């Protein structure tokens, strides 16, 4: 199949992207408005972009009716956010925070979640998330009239003590994090699944 983007509608492009770029990690983003209102929402257009400076990228789509969502507005207004990774035990709570609620609704409270104070930024961390990245805004780029990309500088990383295999050597129990990932459609996620290894090839200059 061939799709010329200029001749393809937005919904079809979105369907093709989320059905092929899988599995995707989930950024469970907590933010705080200038007046202190908390917000939490999951995003799967998300990944790490490099270590120096340590950078995360979030793709934030607009609400069809309200424009920029609370997450985007709060990040642009305050320059701060926290990315919490999602373990299987909190998947249902994460799904609750995806609700299309008005700005004054605290999704954390709605999902029955407790929080932990952050050390470098104002938005709190989600208790029970095994990995949390406190971030400051590096750049917000409008990539179109209905979406933007946020680049965040990681200011602090929290990893649950019991998810470290060897703290002295910074070895993380990646499988033990028990994270869920996003798949296609509006309902599908991945937890566990098949795993396989491929050794990185080394170029033989004498060949």
**One-character DSSP codes across 65-98:** TTBS-HHHHHHHHHSEEEEE--BGGGHHHHHHTT
pLDDT band at residue 205 under the 50/70/90 scheme: low
Question: Taking residues 147-151, what's their average pLDDT?
Answer: 96
The torsion of the CA quartet 51, 133, 184, 98, rounded to 10 degrees, works out to -150
- Could you tell me if 131 and 162 are in contact, meaning their C-beta atoms sit under 8 angstroms apart? no
Is the pTM for the entire model greater than 0.85?
A: yes
Question: Taking residues 132-151, what's their average pLDDT?
Answer: 96
| Residue spans of beta strands (DSSP E) within the chain | 24-25, 27-32, 38-43, 46-51, 54-61, 80-84, 115-116, 125-126, 131-144, 147-159, 164-166, 171-172, 180-182, 189-191
pLDDT surpassing 90 at residue 114 = yes
pLDDT band at residue 206 under the 50/70/90 scheme: low
Q: Count CB atoms within 10 A of the CB of residue 80.
A: 21
Mean pLDDT of the chain: 92
């Amino acid at each position: 199949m061939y799709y010329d983007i200029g001749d393809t509608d937005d919904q079809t492009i979105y369907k093709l992207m989320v059905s092929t770029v899988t599995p995707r990690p989930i950024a469970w983003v907590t933010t705080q408005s200038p007046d202190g209102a908390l917000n939490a929402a999951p995003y799967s257009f998300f990944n790490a972009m490099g270590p120096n400076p340590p950078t995360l990228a979030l793709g934030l789509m607009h609400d069809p009716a309200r424009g920029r969502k609370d997450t985007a507005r709060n990040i642009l207004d305050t320059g701060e956010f926290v990315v919490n990774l999602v373990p299987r035990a909190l998947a249902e709570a994460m799904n609750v925070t995806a609700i299309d609620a008005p700005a004054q609704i605290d999704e954390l409270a709605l999902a029955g979640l407790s929080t932990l104070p952050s050390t470098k930024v104002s938005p709190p961390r989600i208790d029970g998330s095994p990995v949390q990245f406190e971030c400051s805004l590096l750049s917000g780029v409008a990539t179109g009239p209905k979406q933007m990309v946020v680049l965040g500088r990681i200011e602090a990383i929290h990893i649950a003590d019991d998810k470290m295999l060897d703290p002295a050597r910074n070895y993380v129990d990646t499988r033990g994090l028990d994270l869920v990932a996003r798949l296609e459609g509006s309902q599908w996620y991945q937890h566990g699944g098949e795993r396989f290894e491929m050794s990185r090839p080394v170029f033989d200059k004498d060949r």
